[in-house]
Structure 1
């Protein structure tokens, strides 16, 4: 829906489609999986510990209209902004710690794209639920659990609630006890579940990063 460092918008198509009528994202971010394809039509519950991110979702779900989004001012290169929704479009993992930011060409372009995306897709999320809190506060529903925490590596350290604050063994135990199915995302440093390769992504300067997945379903009892 909006730009978010580490979002799955470009690779959502590689993950299994949901087999349940409910999708829960315990680390919501920008909820790219729930927005992919027809997934948004399900009952979707987002859980986000970062209050600023949760407030963006609450505004979009409860108050925003396409007209309101389109009326948001464009960003001019060289200007400064202290708006959190602007700051996270800076395409850097450290953006979550900035109080103000100088508008770069990347930020201005990302914001332009996001305004259009939010306005065009707003109707998809009006039935969604947002809960501001820890992943462990989620109701134990029979659902498709799309679990995408900050990765256990350098890329997961920039968030306000970063990888340094996560007990991954506890998270793994919690995840495996969910009803329904779990789709668990990680990078190549994930060692707390039997992750399997999903795909390789080429980043800046040709750097390759590995996307890993752990899948579990109490319907078919299989792993991918």
Structure 2
């Protein structure tokens, strides 16, 4: 819904479609998977430990209107802002630690794009639920579980609750005990579940990164065999 470093907006189409009536994202971020395609129509439960991020979701779900969002001022390059909703549009993980930020051309452009996107898509999330807290607070229901934690490598550092604060073995055990189906995202260093390659992403300076996936389903064990994932 808004810019978030590491979000899955551009690659959400590569993940399996949800096969259950509910979607749970225990590491919500900007919830790109739940917003993709028609996924938003499901009963969506977001869990987000970062209070600043969960507060944005609470505001969007419970209070915001397209008119209110549209009336939010644009950002001028060179000015400073202490609004977290502005700061996270700076396209850097370090934004999660900034108290104020000087508006760059990138931030101003991302904010303008997000304002338009939020206005156009706000109606999709009004039935969603947001829980502020650890992933273990997610409702214990049969659902499509889209689990996208900070990755177990350098790319997972920098967030307010980054990879150094996660017990990945505990997370793996918890994930395998979810009811329904589990779509678990990781990077190339993920070794705590039987991850498989999903796709390669081109980054800056010609670098590429490997996106990995672990999929498990109580009802659709044949899904991966029929997909392009190998």
TM-score between the two structures when normalised by the length of structure 2 = 0.96
Q: Structure 2 unaligned runs (5+)?
A: 225-230
Quote the Cα distance in structure 1 between the aligned partners of 2:128 and 2:5: 22
Quote the Cα distance in structure 2 between the aligned partners of 1:8 and 1:124: 18
Check 1:222–1:176 CA distance in 2 against 1; reply closer, same or farther (3 A cut).
Answer: farther
Quote the Cα distance in structure 2 between the aligned partners of 1:128 and 1:70: 21
Name the structure 1 match of 2:51: 51
Name the structure 1 match of 2:118: 118
Query: Does the 8 Å CA contact 1:214/1:223 hold for their aligned counterparts?
Result: no
Q: Structure 1 unaligned runs (5+)?
A: none
Quote the Cα distance in structure 2 between the aligned partners of 1:122 and 1:206: 36
Quote the Cα distance in structure 2 between the aligned partners of 1:41 and 1:181: 18
Pairing of 1:1-224 with structure 2 (within 5 A): 1-222=1-222, 224=224
Quote the Cα distance in structure 2 between the aligned partners of 1:62 and 1:96: 23
Quote the Cα distance in structure 2 between the aligned partners of 1:139 and 1:101: 36
Quote the Cα distance in structure 2 between the aligned partners of 1:79 and 1:183: 41
Quote the Cα distance in structure 2 between the aligned partners of 1:21 and 1:220: 14
Deviations 1:110-136 (A, max 9, x none): 000000000000000000000001001
Query: Does the 8 Å CA contact 1:46/1:131 hold for their aligned counterparts?
Result: yes
Residue 220 of structure 1: how far off its partner (Å): 3.0
Residue 223 of structure 1: how far off its partner (Å): 7.3
Check 1:223–1:176 CA distance in 2 against 1; reply closer, same or farther (3 A cut).
Answer: farther
Residue 137 of structure 1: how far off its partner (Å): 1.0
Quote the Cα distance in structure 2 between the aligned partners of 1:47 and 1:182: 15
Aligned residues: 224
Residue 221 of structure 1: how far off its partner (Å): 3.2
Check 1:222–1:172 CA distance in 2 against 1; reply closer, same or farther (3 A cut).
Answer: farther
Quote the Cα distance in structure 1 between the aligned partners of 2:139 and 2:131: 11
Quote the Cα distance in structure 2 between the aligned partners of 1:113 and 1:20: 31
Deviations 1:66-114 (A, max 9, x none): 0000000100000110000000000001110011111000000000000
TM-score between the two structures when normalised by the length of structure 1 = 0.99
